[in-house]
Structure 1
């Protein structure tokens, strides 16, 4: 009975530590988002020119339009007004298209970027994990060398160069795949492949190295000595521990993929967040730049938080580290 009570107490203490850690990370995320919005606001304001100074518009007209939008007010007043609206969920309107709210642009472009990012993430995780496991488990040297060489090649080619090469080969020369847009599943193949090459190579290397190390440990060797097959021992025992370094990489990588690749979306003419962001900078659309930056920052923070919590749940060592850190703080 005493052992059961002690186990329940330890479990509740662990849940409390995880709750405190989660709340702490959420608070840090909110503060980081406020800092990001603040820095971006002032950087945007010191950009030369005006969002309305285009097409030979006279300076008098520019001043009148800026006064209408409150851009003639002191910069700190503008900052407080913007942050007040942001805290209410109001991203403002686009200066280049006053009839369109920034939230509408995000709502329109985000699903497009997310669809490409999720597909690239799935391909990179599945391909990288599979090749990493095969490289670690295979007894054939030729297989290991081919996977290693292909990974080095994929990791060494910049994403934009891979996109251009894929476009020239499969779209321009062979004419097998469409070159732009996202009108059908076939349109996803080239941009998803270009985005997935580098993370797949990194995941393959991380999985292979970590799994090779786990396969040399006592618990794996003991499982094999008991008669468990190699593949079953890998998937039952070793892969869970070996995958923690991969999860630590997948978090930031997935955040990057989900917020869009500016170069890929520009090359393949994909109407996503990346292309909208490039266009907003070109047009000096202050509110659109700020809105896209804050939204993409929120996605990055949320994905990284989810990854950290998943790693803490899977790794007992991480949980013990939180317990020690919590004990030091109390002292």
Structure 2
């Protein structure tokens, strides 16, 4: 129990240091970029500009701004938004996070539900024309970036076929194209990874011995091969989720979805310091949490990994 508590205590410390370094780096880079949040107000009288700077603490020295912002974050206050003066960053994040989580969660679920069976099916038919065709299509899925795939989906299904809306939010059919655009590269990679892992597992000595004892191919697959073959897929979940989070910025912009990615892009373009920093902190915390959960899942599926880190 002591070792377990020590291990998780170190993980929490590493997570806190990682988030602090991420926030500090983002704070410095934002302030170093040319322009400011109220450059459009240059035509305003000097007293108005001074009042805006004082309201948002931009008239203070940079170390004082950093210390004040860090103190607010420690109290759970991400500060006011410069671009959306009627809202705090906490309110914007609270509204946007469920939207991005729904899109990203459905995209990753679709990638797993299709990618794993396709990868297993391809491994069982390794070398045949169906396997070659599937891996070729998966390679295309990896090669096409999201900023190309998303407009192509809009052009095909919204503009040409009129089957689905080109953007917006609020109806179930608004989810279809964004989820597909987010899922495509992950689906392709999941299928290729599952195929490679399954081929390696099927050639293991213990499976040859089990096959020699007369076990059916179905039992070999589901009882002995599938779980170890999925270990690389589980390890891939962390970068897959990060890929979904980073890709949401492009997809949400294309489809006009009010999610975290769109707020991040708009905040960066308008120098909304507090909004960008708030999104970075929340996304960074989610990534740390995801990595921790994936590590725990891998340890449950393969106790040797947990023993190695003990």
Which of the five TM-score ranges fits, normalised by the shorter chain? Answer: over 0.9
Paired residue for 2:141? Answer: 154
Paired residue for 2:231? Answer: 244
1:60 Cα deviation (Å)? 4.0
SS at match of 2:256: coil
Mapped contact 2:120–2:194 kept (Cα < 8 A): yes
Pair 233,17 (structure 1): closer, same or farther in 2 beyond 3 Å: farther
Pair 139,288 (structure 1): closer, same or farther in 2 beyond 3 Å: closer
SS at match of 1:179: coil
Which of 177, 182, 204 is equivalent to 2:191? 204
1:252 Cα deviation (Å)? 2.0
Matching of residue 22 in structure 1 with residue 3 in structure 2: no
| Cα deviation 1:103-146 (Å, max 9, x = unaligned) | 00001111111111010000011111011100111367122112
Matches within 5 A, 1:10-49: 16-49=2-35
Ranges in structure 1 where 5+ consecutive residues have no aligned partner: 1-14, 324-331
Question: Which stretch has the larger CA shift, 279-288 or 20-29?
Answer: 20-29
SS at match of 2:78: coil
Structure 2 Cα separation of the partners of residues 191 and 150 of structure 1:
20
Paired residue for 1:274? Answer: 261
Runs (4+) off by over 6 Å: none
Paired residue for 1:328? Answer: none
Ranges in structure 2 where 5+ consecutive residues have no aligned partner: none
Paired residue for 1:3? Answer: none
Mapped contact 2:168–2:255 kept (Cα < 8 A): yes
Mapped contact 1:112–1:271 kept (Cα < 8 A): yes
Mapped contact 1:259–1:299 kept (Cα < 8 A): no
Which of 312, 316, 325 is equivalent to 2:299? 312
Pair 47,258 (structure 1): closer, same or farther in 2 beyond 3 Å: closer
Mapped contact 2:165–2:174 kept (Cα < 8 A): yes
1:87 Cα deviation (Å)? 0.8
